[in-house]
């Protein structure tokens, strides 16, 4: 990282308005800014009037109509009956009014889009009415921005009084004040700019340059049930705005967060189109597997982000510590992600168009043996079998081997045909007669499976607002083909956010967001699926079958190959029909009522509906045994549906008031959320023909699935919060929530979740204000409690489950019921206590901002399906089983390295988290899970640690002594029973002189030492370039898929990692690299650290180059073209899979042939007009 | 009012409306609950049934009947059992232990939620099945917790390992209760449900187990003899005349007294046992002439002792062909492949394999229809004969041993049977049925260890196992169970 910390910073550059400032300015202060600019527009409107001897009242009415504006004046001050004449032909309204009013001693100013008339004070002083004839001092001046442009609408007032005015369209102002106030100070207030105070001190003319307000001061963040100025936040909240989302192509909301926020880790575990990303906020605070944060979209909780169109998002705020998340009580302990969608901004409609087209390719291939290497490998292996069996030389020819076998064969046995030779393949090391002939052909399964895949995205929206209505309507179409053949995803989404102002007091809004996402393609991740098969099938097929090998009319490469009944992974991926369609309708109805000034009521009804259906069909002709089946007989068709809806009622009352130095904001609220879902599942096998997937009771022979299920749960909550600030300097926030959940028994249903936090804005202190180099600086301390109730619906009760049995001479199925789970009336909330100590620091006028947080999260009463004594008749029950600690450190640094002519800024974040299980019930007994029990929960170690034998090398002959028959079988060092030279050497962890199940150790875990991300953004003239680099250091990934293609199975029919040919132990003379054991190892079924690989990596995640077209500025507000590349480059040492992020199996801690990540190159444009 | 409606909103009962407190309310439900106890012996919602886990993998697989032809598969648990490398972390052992206590739990619930005097038949069945579960726990795990009503975890973990005599006392009491409240045999739609003959037969077997190692209860042989003599007429009425017919689909529930019931084509109600007869390709059909093509095999390459094969072939024992195949063709015979298809030589147990390659009703490797007998005619005959011999009445025993031998086609004995004759007949009679290992243990520590060691020495030179020791006469208490409590000692030397 290269911070530019040259002290010779030119202050002029600092004050320059940057693009990011502008965008933020629009985002956060849009309404006000837009209103003044609109009013400005009114004054600049050209009008034509022709009035002679008309009353001022009528003249103004005429102008109101013509210019579409409104005049406000008091009849007691303004003599509206006076006759006026004016002639203007297409003149600026400002000029017209100047003539019409100013000359008549009437001043006008813009206020709230209306033109307010008043008596011109300068005139007052000289009029005959003259009550204050002598007293007033007239001050004049001009307010400009740092470029010298006049700022209209700046509020100018005398400190501590109500005397004031506003600057006019050119930034000029005139203000007359009583003489006794002339020793006071003048305040210049303008939204988006820093307030300035200037002592009047006898001066009468002022030239004031306002500085644009520093971003951090004006920035507003979304907090639970409201918003707050970032500068007053006392919890720990990370924020991402539309800026970061819009500028590069993003398919999923979570993708925008990756590498961007300290403490928020996002992993793309699978490259599968439409798949979910794994998001963790400050480590996992739950063992139950659901450590994902709570997502709230516009106030309504949502289970999953897949239906949300990233371009609809205005901002994403992540509540990281419990003091901010505790307001979400029961569900806040894994952090809360608040998503705000776009609203219209006052002004004429803004049309936006953004589109990109991209092409994706696999980031890399896995280094398995090539076609030729596989034959070399087989020959090497067969030669060894020959040598071992006959004690003859490996150089004995195939013909001689066959002759030798023939000489020993029982009478009548002939070894001639390929099938006959196959029977002596292993006994005499016989090669496949097909090798080197045209009977078989080469194929690279990874090449067959992976492809260049197009991605297209189109987004259209229109947004705007008038006094009465605020609207934003958008539609998006996203279409992605997967880089694995047969897979794809598309999403069509609409969103309408409309808010109507019914009166000064009542606003009603409605959001409607339907979306439909369609995923196609069969499962490619995981055991026995296409990726795993693609890696473990050798690169040979029978000539002519190509990638259709195994499907009708081809059979698979048999004998020396995997067997006739196998099917090509390509066929598996392409012809297994699968379609998941996910329809979602997210709606929210919102009412805000202003009861009195500062007191607002808000009512929200949120309704989310989801209909997810999955259809799969596997025809007979692609089954390996198609040749022995009649068409349709092996076909399988299945449809699963989930229908769910959730309904949220929410009412909040908010009061805020400033009294002198005290500012207070009080919130109370209540919510109720109900959730219902119904699922159905039907499956059939055995169809009359292979024509269709459609089935009914008359078409099909075997019912595989036929079930209907339903469940429901509900949660009720009461909550309140007080935020208090003294002198805008000392901040306090306290909140409390009570949640009642149907998931727990009547006595433990309700939980309380308090939080308190304090902040001290050091930079507001007088001593700090004198420090030139110090800008926004704040200390924050917080504590809070949040919970987690994400378990099934009725686990506190003992339920009966069906378990049928057969009786009777005719084998009739009898219904049976068993007690399926143990009642746990004591089941209660999982709670997380979180302590946070934070520092926000701004240096050099916020050119460098830094936000650092130290935290400690202690989760207690973890909910887990925990082991119980088997003597109860149960093996597990949902229980509150233990405690877990997460400690860590988040650091976010943003710097502006150059301002002009190149603007270069850097944003860097680093997340350090240490996770440890501190206690488990049942005397801290381990809990094991996963394939081969390779994942362990053990006190003192991070969750989901790996439990493996520690491989320390390869056993050699000198580790053994020879037995009587000359074999090296008598070990000198501890071995696993039966091991021989060439087997993996294990560490005798318990020192008992032998290796067995008791030597399994906690060998590592997936959690990194730290994760980091850095974005560099450079703007030069119309160009912009951003580079996101991100990575992790430390942590291991268990390649459990190695069980298939990275293990000494002794079965050479399949394909393996290249290392088994080149780096493995073959003999004492050819011992390999000392790490990879012999493929003929005697003991091969243990799980050891040979499959544990470093999961550290460094990735250039994204590079985007953009260009703002200047020529079109007249027609368009903005038009930007960009080129972007995702997953540009990866440095890592994870070898047996596609990505070190691919922890998809076994509690998301191991990899089994995960879908490769894509390197995507896209070209896009975004335009506003 | 508002508060009341609030409470209602979050007071949600499961939609199935099926909590255990609401069940057992009428005859139909009690009957269904009784069915549930039986169902624990079946697939139990998992891939394997009780017969596979217990009688085959943990018993037959550790005996001197089968050996490993090679380690073809990373199923460590199976390897460890065969090679006497068993640790308390074995998943198979844990699932056996769990399943037996599941049966006990279902039975305890039924007995707890019904009253003495009502639903007596189902209460009797529950007691039978509870006794059965405890009898297997006692002979495989030694002393364990004695639980006779529904129990919560916090209470269960305080219970000690009850001494064997206490457990046997409950078993005897339960079986006597069952025998007193059931008809002799159930047929028709109720075929497969236990009757009093089965209860007595199990009681007799329990006495025989008590008489042997490790309890060596001297009074038990006499009790066994009395018990068997009370049912021998009923058993004789059910004696199957042809050995090969005993295990066929057509004759199910005709000859046996208590067997695990299986059916194919339904949802998880088939048998997984044939899936373990030998290891082969994990896809496709390894025995095209025998099974429909959706079949795949599991497990290790488990083969039958070649000496046993020789001996049975030599004596032309009819039980041989009914229990064992010595190989199979790798393809169905067609006009073109007569010369190219090959015969794969492997001695494998096919006793429970439904050989019908047109049977597409069998959906998977664990969906076979043949029942697995836990107690059948020969159990009663041979145990009764053994009890008579032990009680000095060998001449009375001859009748029963001869009937078994004649059915096997090897002719009657010339003289009164000895224990050696009993041991020989039991070995051949029950191949694949998982009796052998428990017999060896019952007949004494020294004999068991020497017999198993001799066998292991012969075969394990290829598979590198350990030799069995005294500890192998019991299974270990699952580590997961010990982890939940701190008041149990692990079994000897585990």
Q: Could B40 and A869 be called an inter-chain contact, meaning their C-beta atoms sit closer than 8 Å?
A: no
Higher per-residue confidence, A374 vs A633? A374
Residue in A742, A813, A819 closest to B20 by CB: A819
> If you average pLDDT over residues B129-136, what whole number do you get?
98
pLDDT attached to residue A1108: 85
User: pTM for the whole thing?
Assistant: 0.77
Shortest alpha-carbon distance between residue A1004 and chain B (Å) = 21
Sequence-distant (6+) residues with CB within 8 A of A1039 are A1046, A1091, A1092, A1093, A1134, A1135, A1136, A1137, A1150, A1151, A1152
Closest CA to B363 of B292, B290, B299, B261: B292
- Per-residue burial over A1144-1167, b if 16 or more Cβ lie within 10 Å, else e, is bbbbbbbbbbbbbbbbbbbebbbb
> If you average pLDDT over residues B120-129, what whole number do you get?
97
Q: Could A816 and B486 be called an inter-chain contact, meaning their C-beta atoms sit closer than 8 Å?
A: no
For an interface test with A, the pick among B68, B81, B87, B283 (most A C-beta atoms closer than 10 Å) comes out as: B283
pLDDT interval class at A507 (50, 70, 90): very high
pLDDT attached to residue A246: 75
Judge contact between B119 and B27, C-beta under 8 A: yes
What would the two tokens of residue B125 be?
Answer: 């069945």
The H-assigned helical ranges of B83-192 are 91-113, 120-141, 153-156, 164-181
Shortest alpha-carbon distance between residue B351 and chain A (Å) = 20
Rounded Cα distance between A316 and A333, Å, is 18
Q: Which residue's entry shows tokens 């299945």?
A: A638
Q: What is the DSSP string of B27-71?
A: HHHHHHHHHHHHHTTTTTTSSS-HIIIIIIIIIGGGTTSEEES--
Residue in A711, A872, A997 closest to B105 by CB: A872
Q: Could A628 and B369 be called an inter-chain contact, meaning their C-beta atoms sit closer than 8 Å?
A: no
pLDDT interval class at A127 (50, 70, 90): very low
Helix (H/G/I), strand (E/B), else coil: A928: strand
Closest CA to A943 of A984, A900, A886, A995: A886
Residue in B153, B189, B486 closest to A807 by CB: B189
pLDDT at A11 over 50: no
Shortest alpha-carbon distance between residue B226 and chain A (Å) = 31
> If you average pLDDT over residues A716-735, what whole number do you get?
91
| Helix, strand, coil tally for chain B in percent (to 5) | 50, 5, 45
A1040-1049, B193-202, B216-225, B231-240, range with the lowest pLDDT: A1040-1049
Q: Could A566 and B147 be called an inter-chain contact, meaning their C-beta atoms sit closer than 8 Å?
A: no
Sequence-distant (6+) residues with CB within 8 A of A1113 are none
Please give the torsion angle defined by the CA atoms of residues A981, A985, A989 and A994, in that order, rounded to the nearest 10 degrees. Answer: -10
For an interface test with B, the pick among A647, A800, A879 (most B C-beta atoms closer than 10 Å) comes out as: A800
pLDDT at A15 over 50: no
- Residues in A closer than 8 angstroms to B9, CB to CB, are 672, 674, 714, 716, 742
Rounded Cα distance between A1033 and A1099, Å, is 12
Q: Could A819 and B101 be called an inter-chain contact, meaning their C-beta atoms sit closer than 8 Å?
A: no
pLDDT interval class at B285 (50, 70, 90): low
pLDDT at B74 over 80: no
pLDDT interval class at A41 (50, 70, 90): low
Q: Which residue's entry shows tokens 């309310």?
A: B25
- A601-642 residue pLDDT tens: 999 999 999 999 999 999 999 988 888 888 888 899 999 999
Shortest alpha-carbon distance between residue A562 and chain B (Å) = 9
Shortest alpha-carbon distance between residue A1095 and chain B (Å) = 26
Shortest alpha-carbon distance between residue A1079 and chain B (Å) = 13
Residue in B45, B342, B483 closest to A922 by CB: B483
Residue in A701, A794, A978 closest to B14 by CB: A794
pLDDT attached to residue A192: 64
Q: Could B466 and A715 be called an inter-chain contact, meaning their C-beta atoms sit closer than 8 Å?
A: no
pLDDT attached to residue A33: 33
> If you average pLDDT over residues A746-765, what whole number do you get?
88
The beta strands (E) that lie in A342-452 are given as 347-362, 440-442
Q: Which residue's entry shows tokens 């260009």?
A: A1107
pLDDT at A34 over 50: no
- A694-706 residue pLDDT tens: 888 887 777 888 8
pLDDT at B278 over 70: no
> If you average pLDDT over residues B288-303, what whole number do you get?
75
Residue of B nearest to A876 (CA): B153
Mean model confidence pLDDT for chain A: 84
- Residues in A closer than 8 angstroms to B484, CB to CB, are 867-870, 922, 925
Express as a percent the part of chain A with pLDDT over 70: 92
pLDDT at A828 over 80: yes
- Per-residue burial over A180-213, b if 16 or more Cβ lie within 10 Å, else e, is ebbebebbbbbbbbeebeeebeeeeebebbbebb
pLDDT interval class at A165 (50, 70, 90): confident
pLDDT interval class at A75 (50, 70, 90): low
Judge contact between B375 and B202, C-beta under 8 A: yes
pLDDT attached to residue A477: 93
> If you average pLDDT over residues A1156-1167, what whole number do you get?
90
Question: What would you measure as the largest C-alpha separation in chain B, in angstroms?
Answer: 90
> If you average pLDDT over residues A726-740, what whole number do you get?
90
For an interface test with A, the pick among B37, B191, B284, B286 (most A C-beta atoms closer than 10 Å) comes out as: B284
> If you average pLDDT over residues B223-239, what whole number do you get?
96
Express as a percent the part of chain A with pLDDT over 90: 37
> If you average pLDDT over residues A488-503, what whole number do you get?
92
pLDDT attached to residue B464: 65
Sequence-distant (6+) residues with CB within 8 A of A510 are A496, A497, A498, A499, A587, A588, A589, A590
pLDDT attached to residue A1114: 61
Rg over CA atoms, chain B: 23
pLDDT at A121 over 70: no
Q: Could A803 and B267 be called an inter-chain contact, meaning their C-beta atoms sit closer than 8 Å?
A: no
ipTM above 0.85, yes or no: yes
Residue in A625, A874, A1085 closest to B293 by CB: A625
pLDDT at A908 over 80: yes
Q: Could A625 and B269 be called an inter-chain contact, meaning their C-beta atoms sit closer than 8 Å?
A: no
- A855-868 residue pLDDT tens: 999 998 888 888 88
| Helix, strand, coil tally for chain A in percent (to 5) | 15, 45, 35
Q: Classify burial at A580, counting beta carbons within 10 Å of its beta carbon; exposed 0-12, middle 13-18, buried 19 or more.
A: middle
Interhelix angle A93-100/A56-67, rounded to 10 degrees, is 180
pLDDT at B453 over 50: yes
CB atoms within 10 A of CB B180: 12
Sequence-distant (6+) residues with CB within 8 A of B2 are none
A276-285, A528-537, A1005-1014, B94-103: which is most confident: B94-103
Residue in B104, B147, B192 closest to A806 by CB: B192
Shortest alpha-carbon distance between residue A388 and chain B (Å) = 14
Q: Could B188 and A625 be called an inter-chain contact, meaning their C-beta atoms sit closer than 8 Å?
A: no
Express as a percent the part of chain B with pLDDT over 90: 69
């Amino acid at each position: 990282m290269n911070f530019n910390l040259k002290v010779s910073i030119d202050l002029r550059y600092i004050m320059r308005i940057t693009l990011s400032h502008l965008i933020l300015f629009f985002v956060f202060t849009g309404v006000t800014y837009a209103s003044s600019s609109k009013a400005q527009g009114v004054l600049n409107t050209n009008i034509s009037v022709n009035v002679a001897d008309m009353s001022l009242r009528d003249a103004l009415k005429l102008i109101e109509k013509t210019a579409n504006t409104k005049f406000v004046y008091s009849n007691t001050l303004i003599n509206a009956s006076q006759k006026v004449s004016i002639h203007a032909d297409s003149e600026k309204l400002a000029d017209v009014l100047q003539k019409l009013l100013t000359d008549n001693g009437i001043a006008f100013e813009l206020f709230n889009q209306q033109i307010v008339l008043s008596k011109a004070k300068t005139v007052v002083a000289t009029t005959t009415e003259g009550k204050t004839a002598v007293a007033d001092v007239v001050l004049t001046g001009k307010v400009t921005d740092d470029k010298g442009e006049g700022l209209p609408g700046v509020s100018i007032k005398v400190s501590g009084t109500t005397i004031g005015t506003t600057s006019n369209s050119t930034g000029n102002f005139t203000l007359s004040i009583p003489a006794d106030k002339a020793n006071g100070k003048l305040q210049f207030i303008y939204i988006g700019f820093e307030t300035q105070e200037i002592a009047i001190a006898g001066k009468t003319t002022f030239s004031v340059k306002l500085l644009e307000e520093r971003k951090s001061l004006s920035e507003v963040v979304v907090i639970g049930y409201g918003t707050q100025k970032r500068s007053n936040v006392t919890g720990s909240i990370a924020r991402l705005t539309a800026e970061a989302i819009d500028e590069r192509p993003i398919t999923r909301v979570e993708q925008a967060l990756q590498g961007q926020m300290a403490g928020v880790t996002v992993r793309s575990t699978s490259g599968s189109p439409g798949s979910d990303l794994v998001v963790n906020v400050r480590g996992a605070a739950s063992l139950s597997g659901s450590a994902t944060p709570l997502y709230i979209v516009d106030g309504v909780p949502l289970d999953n982000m897949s239906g949300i169109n990233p371009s609809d998002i205005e901002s994403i705020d992540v509540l990281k510590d419990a003091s901010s998340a505790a307001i979400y009580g029961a569900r806040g302990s894994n952090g809360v992600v608040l998503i705000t969608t776009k609203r219209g901004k006052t002004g004429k409609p803004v049309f936006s168009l953004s589109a990109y087209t991209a092409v994706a390719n696999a980031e890399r291939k896995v280094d398995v043996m090539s076609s030729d290497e596989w034959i070399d490998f087989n020959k090497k292996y067969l030669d060894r079998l020959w040598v071992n069996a006959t004690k003859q030389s490996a150089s004995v020819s195939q013909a001689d081997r066959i002759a030798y076998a023939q000489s020993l064969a029982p009478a009548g046995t002939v070894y001639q045909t390929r099938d006959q030779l196959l029977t002596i393949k292993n006994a005499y090391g016989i090669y496949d007669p097909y090798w080197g002939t045209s009977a078989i052909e080469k194929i690279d399964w990874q090449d067959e499976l992976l492809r260049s895949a197009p991605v297209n995205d189109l987004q259209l929206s229109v947004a705007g607002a008038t006094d009465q209505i605020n609207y934003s309507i958008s539609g998006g179409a996203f279409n992605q083909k997967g880089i694995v053949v047969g897979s794809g995803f598309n999403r069509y989404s609409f969103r309408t956010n409309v808010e109507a102002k019914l009166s000064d007091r009542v606003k009603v809004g409605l959001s409607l967001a339907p979306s439909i996402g369609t995923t196609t393609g069969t499962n490619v991740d995981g055991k026995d699926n296409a990726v795993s098969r693609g890696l473990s099938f050798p690169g040979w097929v029978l000539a002519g079958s190509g990638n259709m090998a195994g499907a009708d009319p081809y059979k698979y490469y048999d004998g020396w190959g995997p067997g006739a009944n196998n099917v090509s992974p390509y066929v598996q991926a392409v012809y297994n029909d699968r379609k998941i369609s996910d329809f979602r309708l997210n709606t929210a109805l919102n009412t805000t009522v202003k009861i009195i000034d500062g007191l607002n009521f808000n009512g929200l009804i949120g309704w989310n509906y989801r209909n997810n259906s999955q259809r799969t069909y596997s025809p007979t002709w692609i089954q390996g045994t198609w040749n022995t089946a009649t068409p349709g007989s092996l076909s399988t068709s299945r449809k699963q549906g989930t229908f769910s809806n959730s309904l949220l009622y929410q009412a909040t009352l908010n009061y805020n008031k400033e009294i002198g130095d005290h500012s207070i904001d009080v919130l109370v609220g209540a919510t109720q959320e109900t959730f219902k879902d119904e699922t159905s599942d039907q499956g059939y096998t055995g169809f009359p023909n292979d024509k269709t997937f459609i089935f009914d009771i008359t078409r099909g022979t075997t019912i595989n699935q036929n079930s209907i299920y339903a469940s429901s749960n509900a949660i009720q909550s009461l909550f309140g919060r007080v935020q208090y600030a003294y002198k805008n300097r000392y901040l306090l926030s306290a909140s409390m929530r009570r949640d009642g959940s149907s998931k727990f028994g009547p006595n433990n249903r309700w939980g309380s979740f308090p939080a308190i936090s304090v902040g001290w804005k050091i930079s507001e202190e007088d001593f700090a204000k004198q420090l030139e180099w110090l800008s926004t600086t704040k200390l924050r301390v917080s504590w809070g409690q949040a919970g987690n109730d994400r378990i099934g619906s009725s686990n506190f009760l003992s339920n009966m489950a069906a378990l049928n049995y057969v009786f009777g001479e005719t084998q009739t199925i009898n219904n049976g019921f068993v007690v399926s789970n143990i009642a746990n009336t004591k089941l209660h909330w999982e709670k997380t206590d979180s302590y946070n100590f934070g520092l926000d620091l701004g240096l050099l006028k916020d050119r460098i901002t830094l936000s650092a947080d130290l935290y400690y999260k202690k989760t207690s009463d973890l909910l887990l399906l925990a082991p119980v004594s088997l003597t109860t008749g149960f093996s597990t029950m949902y229980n509150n089983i233990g405690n877990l600690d997460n400690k860590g450190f988040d650091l976010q640094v943003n710097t502006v390295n150059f301002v002009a002519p190149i603007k270069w800024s850097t944003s860097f974040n680093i997340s350090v988290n240490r996770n440890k299980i501190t206690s488990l019930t049942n005397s801290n007994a381990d809990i094991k899970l996963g394939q081969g029990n390779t994942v362990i929960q053990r006190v003192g170690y991070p969750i989901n640690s790996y439990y493996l034998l520690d491989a320390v090398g390869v056993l050699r002959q000198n580790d053994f002594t020879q037995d009587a028959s000359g074999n090296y079988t008598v070990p000198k060092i501890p071995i696993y029973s039966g091991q021989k030279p060439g087997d993996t050497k294990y560490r005798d962890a318990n020192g008992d002189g032998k290796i067995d199940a008791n030597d399994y150790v906690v060998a590592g875990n997936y959690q990194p030492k730290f994760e980091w991300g850095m974005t560099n953004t450079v703007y030069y003239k119309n160009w912009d370039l951003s580079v996101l680099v991100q990575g992790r250091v430390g942590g291991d990934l268990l390649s459990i898929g190695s069980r298939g293609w990275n293990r000494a199975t002794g079965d050479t029919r399949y394909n393996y990692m290249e290392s088994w040919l080149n780096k493995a132990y073959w003999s004492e003379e050819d011992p390999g690299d000392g790490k990879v054991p012999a493929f003929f190892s005697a003991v091969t079924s243990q799980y050891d650290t040979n499959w544990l690989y470093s999961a550290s990596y460094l990735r250039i995640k994204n590079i985007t180059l953009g260009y703002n077209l200047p020529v079109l500025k007249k027609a368009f507000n903005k038009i930007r073209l960009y080129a972007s590349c995702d997953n540009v480059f990866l440095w890592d040492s994870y070898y047996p899979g596609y990505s070190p992020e691919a922890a998809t199996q076994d509690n998301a801690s191991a990899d089994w042939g995960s879908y490769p990540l894509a390197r995507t190159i896209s070209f896009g444009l975004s335009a506003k007009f | 009012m508002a508060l009341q409606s609030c409470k209602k909103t979050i007071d949600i009962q499961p939609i199935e409306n099926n909590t255990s407190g609401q069940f057992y309310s009428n005859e139909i439900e009690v009957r269904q609950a009784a069915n549930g106890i039986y169902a624990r012996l079946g697939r139990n919602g998992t891939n394997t049934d009780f017969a596979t886990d217990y009688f085959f993998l943990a018993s037959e697989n550790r005996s001197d009947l089968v050996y490993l032809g090679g380690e073809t598969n990373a199923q460590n648990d199976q390897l460890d059992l065969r090679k006497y490398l068993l640790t308390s972390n074995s998943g198979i052992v844990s699932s056996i232990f769990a399943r037996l206590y599941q049966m006990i739990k279902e039975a305890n619930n039924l007995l707890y939620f019904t009253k003495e005097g009502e639903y007596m038949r189902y209460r009797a069945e529950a007691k039978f099945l509870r006794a059965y579960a405890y009898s297997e726990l006692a002979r495989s795990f030694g002393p364990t917790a004695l639980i006779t009503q529904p129990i919560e975890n916090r209470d269960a973990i305080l219970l000690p390992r009850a001494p064997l005599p206490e457990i046997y006392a409950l078993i005897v009491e339960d079986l006597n209760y069952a025998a007193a409240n059931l008809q002799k045999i159930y047929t028709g739609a109720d075929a497969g449900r236990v009757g009093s003959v089965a209860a007595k037969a199990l009681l007799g077997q329990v006495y025989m187990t008590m008489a042997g190692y490790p309890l060596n209860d001297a009074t038990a042989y006499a009790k066994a003899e009395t018990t068997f003599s009370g049912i021998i007429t009923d058993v004789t009425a059910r004696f199957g005349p042809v050995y090969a017919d005993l295990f066929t689909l057509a004759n199910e529930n005709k000859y046996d007294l208590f067997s695990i019931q299986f059916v194919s084509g339904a949802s998880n109600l088939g048998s997984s046992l044939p899936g373990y007869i030998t290891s082969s390709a994990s896809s496709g059909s390894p025995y095209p002439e025998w099974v429909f093509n959706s079949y795949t095999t599991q497990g290790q390459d488990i083969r039958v002792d070649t000496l046993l094969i020789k001996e049975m072939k030599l004596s032309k024992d009819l039980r041989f062909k009914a229990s064992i195949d010595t190989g199979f063709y790798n393809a169905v015979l067609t006009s073109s492949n007569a010369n190219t298809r090959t015969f794969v030589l492997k001695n494998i147990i096919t006793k429970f394999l439904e050989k019908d390659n047109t049977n597409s009703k069998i959906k998977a490797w664990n969906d076979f229809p043949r029942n697995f007998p836990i107690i059948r005619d020969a159990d009663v005959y041979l145990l009764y004969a053994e009890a008579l011999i032990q009680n000095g009445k060998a001449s009375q025993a001859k009748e029963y041993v001869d009937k078994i031998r004649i059915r096997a086609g090897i002719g009657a004995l010339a003289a009164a049977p000895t224990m050696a004759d009993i041991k020989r007949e039991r070995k051949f009679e029950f191949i694949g049925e998982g009796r052998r290992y428990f017999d060896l243990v019952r007949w004494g520590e020294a004999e068991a260890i020497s017999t198993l060691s001799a066998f292991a020495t012969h075969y394990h030179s290829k598979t590198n196992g350990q030799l069995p020791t005294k500890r192998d006469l019991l299974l270990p208490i699952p580590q997961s169970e010990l982890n939940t409590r701190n008041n149990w000692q692990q079994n000897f030397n585990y």
